[in-house]
Amino acid sequence: MEDAVRPTEQAFKAMYERGYRTWFSLYEMTIADTKTHHLPWWDCAFQLENIFPDHPSFPESLAVDASFSNTVIATGISTWRTAAQGPCDLPSFDQEFFIPVASDRPTILAISDSDPQQSTSVFPRSFSEDDDDHITVLILAWTYILSARWAEIIPGASGPEYSNCEAEWDDKNLPPERAPTDSTAAIIDLGDIDDDAARWWAAVLAPEGGWNASIPSDRGPILHSPWYTRLVSEQRFTLSRGTKSRPLPAQHRAASFTTALRYLSSYREFHQVAEQSHAALAATLLLPVARYDNRRVQLPTPRVRRKERVNETICKTPAWSENLNQLDRLLTLSCNAVGTKALLNSVFFEPGVACNICGAWLQGTFAFLDSEIVQDQHILLRVLMKRDPSLGFLWLGAFITGAQTRALQEARQGWWKIDLHVAAWTGTLMSFIQEPVSTLSPETEEISRADECRLMYLSHDQSYTVPPLFPFAPFGSTAMTDTNIDVRQHARCETSHGLEYQGLTWRCRDGQRTATTIPRRIPLRTKNGQQPSDGNISVVTYDNLDNEDDDCSEMVTRNIFTWLRDEDGFPVAERPIREHEWIDNLDYSDDDCPITGDVESTAGGGNLHGWLLKTVTRRSNSL
């Protein structure tokens, strides 16, 4: 007898092959790129300068909610259109959203020379073995710069302010030819800088928190910027500059955002590390994710050798000073750790993969990603970048900070959430609910359950104001007579339906609101790696194929059918689905989750009136 929910062994194997071959094709594309691009990831690092132009940034008059003891949040309302111009009366709807903008605890940065094989972080081979490694120094500088900009934008925030803790100075002033050659020596050559810049670097590289940017909560605790960090280091940094190092004044005004940006730019030019600075910014944007996951970030001890001094000083416009709007967009994106995690995991969503077979897709995916072909983590990084190049800088930052470990764990289990706001702002396809509803003829007698879900969400009835938790669509179709009244009405109204982001309104001070709208529709990007219909099956290995181990599909299937049928119950035609072992252990009584049209579902005594009213207004009897 055919199983009502589980796919056949043949279908499971075919989906496993699809997952494997999709990622194998991405690997082949990656290898082909390396033959023509020596440093393929710098394209994605420099895309920070113009990526996601439709992502919002915090307005200057933003109102914040400081009523929580562990965070401060910014809130707004987004507007979504549900139908194209035409005879449809399905209205647009509003959705509330919030973004945390402060935290009660720092992100721990562990600086050490541990075996890189034991580290969760992966540093791209962005420079030769003879070059220096400035990534850690640059990340620490970016945490200050983003925090300084945050303090300028967020009402009630203050700082940064220097503490009494400073990094140590090298008072030997050895010439470059006599500088230590030990690659693990944490001596940071800052060039010929003045006292103000020297005091800033002493704060930025202080071992126990040399600065702080904060905001009070209404409950009393002092909260910190999202990039607030604490160092745990095996050795202290030692700073060096061209002029004679001497004690700096105890009272020193902390550098502003603009000044700090200039200090970083000078360091970048002095050491010629523009690429590493962009990579460090990508990593810094991922620090709120580390704190959200309650995870420390392991970074290597810097390798910064002293340089020969050049008499000519080149003064350039500080990087980002003329691109402040873009930096503000990245700052807002970084605050949204949940949205950032959703973007990372969106590369594992595949359109057309149903909930009851998504486990096979993920099995095939990780059968390849776990294979010896991509054991080199740098190759894995490039393959993940290739899936959706627009998210490449996030994966670069994730691998530097170790966030990829949790992301891959969640993807392997199918346990990741979606965020429709950040998906719309970035043009990222991360759920079937974003895809348009199929156009049906008036005489059509059934509708796919995926389209049924889409119309139920677009109708935005009280029970369907939240989208499905997971990205994979329900399988199969529903008889039109078994759908609720909203679905029946709009499935045949000859108007194109789909979820379309229109804009948002920030809640601002004094009860005001700041609206941001977009002049165009943000298109959703397609993902790379679409396998050809005649894909080479010979490349697939089946060692990890196990159609009995499909907890992922079971979990996602139970969740989507709970969302779909929780309000109205299952139609009688879906009795085999309702009684299937994947669904049957739902935490419902028979009266709570009836099979509509069945006599047993009316035996609820006092619940009879409510059930009849619900059936009349929502779903026709399918018998």
∠ CA(251), CA(149), CA(216), 5° rounding?
A: 70
Least confident of 149-163, 299-313, 354-368: 299-313
- pLDDT band at residue 587 using 50, 70 and 90 as cut-offs: low
**How would you list the strands of the sheet with 222-224, edge to edge?**
158-162, 211-216, 222-224
Mean pLDDT score, 43-67 = 90
Question: Is the model's pLDDT at 593 over the cut of 50?
Answer: no
Q: Is residue 203 part of a domain?
A: yes
Q: Is residue 19 part of a domain?
A: no
pTM equals 0.90
* DSSP of 300-328: EPPB-------SSPPP-PPTTTT-HHHHH
User: Cα separation of 285 and 142, whole Å?
Assistant: 9
User: Cα separation of 432 and 350, whole Å?
Assistant: 9
- pLDDT band at residue 388 using 50, 70 and 90 as cut-offs: very high
Dihedral through CA 316, CA 318, CA 324, CA 327, nearest 10?
A: 130
DSSP state for residue 434 in the 8-state scheme: G
**How would you list the strands of the sheet with 107-112, edge to edge?**
229-233, 107-112, 297-300
Do 84 and 273 touch, CB atoms closer than 8 A? no
Final residue in a domain of this structure, among 335, 359, 394:
335
Q: What total of structural domains would you count in the chain?
A: 2
Q: Is residue 601 part of a domain?
A: yes
Q: Is residue 379 part of a domain?
A: no
Mean pLDDT score, 320-348 = 95
Tens-digit pLDDT profile for residues 486-545: 999 898 887 889 999 999 999 998 778 887 767 667 889 999 987 655 556 678 999 999
- Mean of per-residue pLDDT scores for the chain: 85
Residue 522 is predicted with a pLDDT of: 83
Residue 41 is predicted with a pLDDT of: 56
The sign of the torsion formed by the CA atoms of 266, 272, 273, 275 equals positive
- pLDDT band at residue 617 using 50, 70 and 90 as cut-offs: very low
User: Cα separation of 256 and 262, whole Å?
Assistant: 10
- pLDDT band at residue 52 using 50, 70 and 90 as cut-offs: very high
User: Cα separation of 206 and 224, whole Å?
Assistant: 17
**Residue 345 CA: distances (Å) to CA of 13, 408, 411:** 23, 8, 6
Final residue in a domain of this structure, among 288, 312, 335:
335
Q: Say which amino acid occupies 190.
A: L
Residue 120 is predicted with a pLDDT of: 53
Q: Is 399 exposed, middle or buried (0-12, 13-18, 19+ CB in 10 A)?
A: buried
Tens-digit pLDDT profile for residues 363-382: 999 999 999 999 899 899 99
Q: Is residue 386 part of a domain?
A: no
Tens-digit pLDDT profile for residues 195-224: 999 999 999 999 888 999 999 999 888 999
Residue 322 is predicted with a pLDDT of: 85
Least confident of 229-243, 332-346, 377-391: 229-243
Residue 176 is predicted with a pLDDT of: 46
Return the residue matching tokens 């099956």: 537
Tens-digit pLDDT profile for residues 63-120: 999 999 899 999 999 999 998 767 788 999 999 999 999 999 999 999 887 654 445 5
Residue 575: CB atoms within 10 Å? 14
Q: Is residue 605 part of a domain?
A: yes
Q: Is residue 254 part of a domain?
A: yes
Question: Is the model's pLDDT at 407 over the cut of 70?
Answer: yes
Final residue in a domain of this structure, among 312, 335, 358:
335
User: Cα separation of 242 and 170, whole Å?
Assistant: 11
Judged by DSSP in three states, 596 sits in strand
Q: Is residue 296 part of a domain?
A: yes
Q: Say which amino acid occupies 315.
A: C
* Range(s) of the domain holding residue 311: 107-335
Residue 123 is predicted with a pLDDT of: 57
